[in-house]
A and B are shown apart, each in its own frame.
Chain A
Amino acid sequence: GAVVSQHPSWVICKSGTSVKIECRSLDFQATTMFWYRQFPKQSLMLMATSNEGSKATYEQGVEKDKFLINHASLTLSTLTVTSAHPEDSSFYICSARDRHRFSRAEYFGPGTRLTVT
């Protein structure tokens, strides 16, 4: 149980275009989802906390207008990278917290590799 999927697993886009990444909790409901970036051989960097039915909370230094987050249902959150630039190339990972479990554990998706050319 506690499976999280991400789509797409990898994407290549041209500079200036927008890309949407989906994060789904497949067998549980998640009122809270998280979006991270992971750089090679480094730990995860939290970008934002996505709350179902309300606005996302962004970490300091993360541009909310550039990284649009929508958490429209208890099983889906999306991250849209707008006007992408090469420096946005990265590995984006989402996680979700099971609303019915007592634990604050997060369950992670497999990640999405974004390359901006």
Chain B
Amino acid sequence: AQRVTQPEKLLSVFKGAPVELKCNYSYSGSPELFWYVQYSRQRLQLLLRHISRESIKGFTADLNKGETSFHLKKPFAQEEDSAMYYCALSGTSGSRLTFGEGTQLTVNP
């Protein structure tokens, strides 16, 4: 079975502070990991995928297979980063995404 855990439902930081949203997963094979973001009243958007090893809007995430983690990081948070963030996992080809419960990030001025 595959599972995604986001231990923090709420996370609040000040503008300019570093932010880390935690994600741990359980899956016995080779997963593909994603971060999705949902801004207020907007659709869910793909933010990052681990296979791309990219930085989007200043966010990065590294897959740590030893710790089964895929934490999302940004060195300097901005107010516009305030949103709901979901970590998701896909197992074998064609299988559905498994989502974590989400972390609501609030960046205070």
Contacts and interface: CB of A to CB of B under 8 A. Distances in A.
Interface of A: 2, 32, 34, 42-44, 46, 49, 93, 95, 102-111
Interface in B47-69: 49, 51-52
Nearest to B31: A104
Interface residues of B, number: 22
A109 B96 contact: no
Interface of B: 32, 34, 36, 42-46, 49, 51-52, 86, 90, 93-97, 99-102
Given A43-B102, A49-B96, A103 B43 contact: no
Contacts of A104: 32, 90, 93-95, 97
A107 B44 CA distance: 8
Nearest to B97: A106
Contacts of B97: 34, 46, 95, 104, 106
A105 B51 CA distance: 11
A106 B96 CA distance: 9
8 contacts: A43-B102, A93-B43, A93-B44, A95-B97, A102-B51, A103-B52, A105-B34, A109-B43
Q: Which 7 A-B pairs have the closest CB atoms?
A: A104-B90, A108-B44, A110-B43, A43-B101, A43-B99, A104-B32, A108-B43
B49 A103 contact: yes
Contacts of B49: 103, 105
B45 A108 contact: yes
Contacts of B34: 105
A46 B96 contact: yes
Contact of B96 (A34, A42, A108): A34
Nearest to A108: B44
Nearest to A44: B99
Among A42, A102, A103, A109, chain B packs the most CB atoms within 10 A around the CB of A103
Given A43-B86, A43-B100, A107 B93 contact: no
A59 to B, nearest CB: 8
